[in-house]
Amino acid sequence: MCEIFCFNSNNPKEVNECLECFYGHSDEHPHGWGLANMQKDESMIDKEPVKASCSQHLKNILSNPVIGKNVFAHIRLATVGEIISPNCHPFIEADDNNRSWMLIHNGTIFDYPELDKYKEKEHGDTDSERILLYIIDKINDFEAKKGSVSTIKERFYILEKIIRNLSKNNKLNLMIYDGDLTYIHSNMKDSLYYLKNDEGFLVASTPLTDDKEWKPVELNKLFGLIDGNIIFESEEHENEFILTEENKKAMEDFLKSITGEIHD
């Protein structure tokens, strides 16, 4: 599958050391990389469908300080969708009230037919992009009925319901940013970790420093972060994802189809 990374803080900090460690895992996740430095006035998003360690563009970015309060990164091991730029994370789309939403995903949607209608709307052909389009539709529907922009709390509980439903029979490690909140969710054991310190919150698929305080993200809950603090925490749902032999075979068959590689 993929690996994901997030830094959330109350003040802009340099995150190059963590990013370099994170992108160092690209030998196992060679099908693309992405980086998002999300800011209120201007956001930087870069991505390429090449292995991170082979990207001169990424090397150029990391040769300068990457400083931000809300920084996200992704390295891709394709399980759905071709190895092309539109399928690299992060994905970003605007809702009807011109709020920008960003999403990165580690996982696979095996069973959620409601996403199928977005195959005609998406720029690429990944289940991850469809998740974002689905979320935006739900936000648009809510705000149209309300007649005004949603509050932070309203958006959190809209996403809680969406993710609770989406997580059944699907691996759904997600990081989402809506301009205010950073949303974090994991439903697979030992697949997402966090470190809270004076710098802020670090969240990653595997610990990125030698600090012994890294802990697993609590499963089956949605967390909402602002300025390095948990503002919202949902009730726990029951949709823990356990990878089956059938799931593994489906992903291996897909990898063979796009790379011609054989995976034991």
For 261, residues 6+ apart whose C-beta sits below 8 A from its C-beta are 255
How far, in whole angstroms, is CA 141 from its chain's centroid?
A: 23
Which pair of structure tokens corresponds to residue 215? 């802990």
Which pair of structure tokens corresponds to residue 217? 């993200």
Residue 259: is its pLDDT beyond 70? no
Q: Residue 264 has what pLDDT?
A: 30
Domains, in order of start, for the chain:
3-259 (3.60.20.10)
DSSP state of 111: S
Residue 88: is its pLDDT beyond 70? yes
Omega within 30 of 0 (cis) for the link into 90: yes
Residue 8: is its pLDDT beyond 60? yes
Q: What is the mean pLDDT of residues 166-193?
A: 97
Task: Judge contact between 122 and 130, C-beta under 8 A.
Answer: yes
pLDDT band at residue 260 using 50, 70 and 90 as cut-offs: low
Q: What are phi and psi of 256, to 5 degrees?
A: -60, -40
pLDDT band at residue 80 using 50, 70 and 90 as cut-offs: confident
Which of helix, strand or coil describes residue 5? strand
> pTM score, two decimals?
0.93
- If 0-12 CB within 10 Å is exposed, 13-18 middle and 19+ buried, where does residue 38 land? buried
What's the length of the chain? 264
Q: Residue 79 has what pLDDT?
A: 83
Residue 140: is its pLDDT beyond 60? yes
Write the CA distances from 24 to 20, 62, 250, integer angstroms: 6, 12, 27
How far, in whole angstroms, is CA 187 from its chain's centroid?
A: 13
Q: Which helix (H) or strand (E) holds 48?
A: strand 44-48
The 10s digit of each residue's pLDDT in 204-251 is 999 999 999 999 999 999 999 999 999 999 999 999 999 887 777 766
Q: Which helix (H) or strand (E) holds 240?
A: none
Task: Judge contact between 177 and 256, C-beta under 8 A.
Answer: no
The 10s digit of each residue's pLDDT in 102-128 is 999 999 999 999 999 999 999 999 999
Residue 254: is its pLDDT beyond 70? no
